[in-house]
Amino acid sequence: MQWTDEGIVLGVRRHGESGAIAELLTREHGRHLGLVRGGSGSRMKPVLQPGNTVNAVWRARLDEHLGHYTVEPLRARTAAIFAAPHALLAVTHLAALVRLLPERDPHASLYEDLSGLLDHLDDPGIVAPQLARFELRMLAELGFGLDLSSCAATGETGDLIYVSPKSGRAVSRSAGAEWHDRLLKLPPFLGDEALVPSAADLNDGFVLTGFFLERYVFAPRDLPLPDSRAQFLTAIGRVQSKIA
């Protein structure tokens, strides 16, 4: 068995004296592990940093085996990742989210989303809203997508500013007015990538995605939301305070 694919490094763990088991999110083969000979050595260590993109050749006698990777660097992002605290925390959180995907299950569109997000790690004004949108997409990929296309009560498609915590469906301003204190806020930037959110809208977006991630994804696994998520939001908050 052999294939070649592009992959984003999610994590690496040492194996033996000099080897390493690399975990990649590949474009066509999903989240996939493989043994890299010399992966813990000085030559390969910089290549196998989380957030980097590599060209990977995977080989194994049988498809169900762990197999071996041969990797070559395509895009190094280490400098950007270590340039700011929020960037390193974003990579850590993104890796934790992607690990929720079933192993070897292709998610090509999500791969593109992740790649684009990682390319803007150095810009907190871009990476923060993109990460909130990525969490929304992760919910959909895991089978818990929110229906934000029309109002759950009236069927309206305009002026949708709330989300029902029970159904995960959008609610219009008029329909939700009486129960606004029981509904989650739906900031417009989650549905329009051209919009630059305010600090309040960004917070509302992460409250929304965090609520459903915790309810449908992490709590059923007896897991808390990753610490890196809260730490990322704190770091972004500090950046926003300095700008203000």
| Statement: residue 33 has pLDDT above 90 | yes
| Statement: residue 242 has pLDDT above 90 | no
pTM: 0.94
Q: For the segment 175-190, what is each residue's pLDDT rounded down to a tens digit?
A: 999 999 999 999 999 9
Above pLDDT 70, what percent of the chain?
99
Residue 127 belongs to a domain:
yes
Opening angle at CA 67, ends 63 and 72, nearest 5: 120
Candidates 129, 134, 167, 175; CA nearest to 151 is: 175
Residue 10 belongs to a domain:
yes
Residue 38 belongs to a domain:
yes
31 shares its domain with 125: no
Q: For the segment 106-141, what is each residue's pLDDT rounded down to a tens digit?
A: 999 999 999 999 999 989 999 999 999 999 999 999
Q: For the segment 101-113, what is each residue's pLDDT rounded down to a tens digit?
A: 999 999 999 999 9
Instruction: Compute the distance between CA of residue 179 and CA of residue 173 in angstroms, rounded to an integer.
Output: 10
- Order of strands across the sheet with 184-185? 170-172, 160-163, 184-185
Q: 185 - beta bridge partners?
A: 162
| 122's tokens | 């150095």
200 shares its domain with 238: yes
Final residue of a structural domain among 47, 76, 105: 76
92 shares its domain with 129: yes
Which of 111-148 are b and which e, b meaning 16 or more Cβ less than 10 Å from the residue's Cβ? bebbeebbbbbeebeebbbbbbbbbbbbbebeeeebeb
Q: At what angle do helices 124-141 and 227-243 cross, to 10 degrees?
A: 150
Provide mean pLDDT across the span 76-82. Answer: 92
Q: For the segment 7-22, what is each residue's pLDDT rounded down to a tens digit?
A: 999 999 999 889 999 9
How many independent structural domains does the chain possess? 2
37 shares its domain with 91: no
84 shares its domain with 114: yes
Task: Identify the domain containing residue 19 by its residue range.
Answer: 2-76
Q: How many CA atoms lie within 13 A of 85 on its CB side?
A: 12
| Statement: residue 169 has pLDDT above 80 | yes
122 shares its domain with 206: yes
Residue 44 belongs to a domain:
yes
Judge whether 58 and 67 are in contact, CB under 8 Å: yes
pLDDT on residue 17: 87
Residue 21 belongs to a domain:
yes
pLDDT-derived band of residue 146, with 50, 70 and 90 as boundaries? very high
Instruction: Compute the distance between CA of residue 174 and CA of residue 184 in angstroms, rounded to an integer.
Output: 15
46 shares its domain with 131: no
Residue 158 belongs to a domain:
no
Residue 174 belongs to a domain:
no
Opening angle at CA 114, ends 140 and 144, nearest 5: 10
